[in-house]
Amino acid sequence: MAAPTASVFAKTPKEDFRVTIDIGVDVTHPMPVTSTIFPASTVVEELRALRDRVEVAEAERATLHATVRLMGEVETSLCNRMRDERQTRIGIAR
């Protein structure tokens, strides 16, 4: 392979000159991606593990969602009970 040539220009106060520099380039080719193939069983196992993790995460999400809904219902119930007690006290005080 022929090495490329680059021209370099430099200006000095005394004179202008031109220098040609030969640059050698070593080209290396990386291993093609297809040559580093994983065994199909490894890929399948990884996919199964990821699916299992997704299922666990979805179950946790559903549990947390149900807990939040239940806490909201409890809060509403307590607020209603407090309101009723407050109104009862006001009625008794009158």
Task: Measure the CA dihedral 12/18/19/21, to 10°.
Answer: 120
Q: What is the pLDDT of residues 15-29, one digit of tens each?
A: 555 656 666 777 776
3 or 39, higher pLDDT: 39
> Please, which pLDDT band fits residue 60 given cuts at 50, 70 and 90?
very high
Residue 2 in contact with residue 24, Cβ under 8 Å?
no
Q: What is the pLDDT of residues 68-86, one digit of tens each?
A: 999 999 999 999 999 999 9
Task: Measure the CA dihedral 14/15/16/20, to 10°.
Answer: -100
Q: Where are the domains of the chain?
A: 40-94
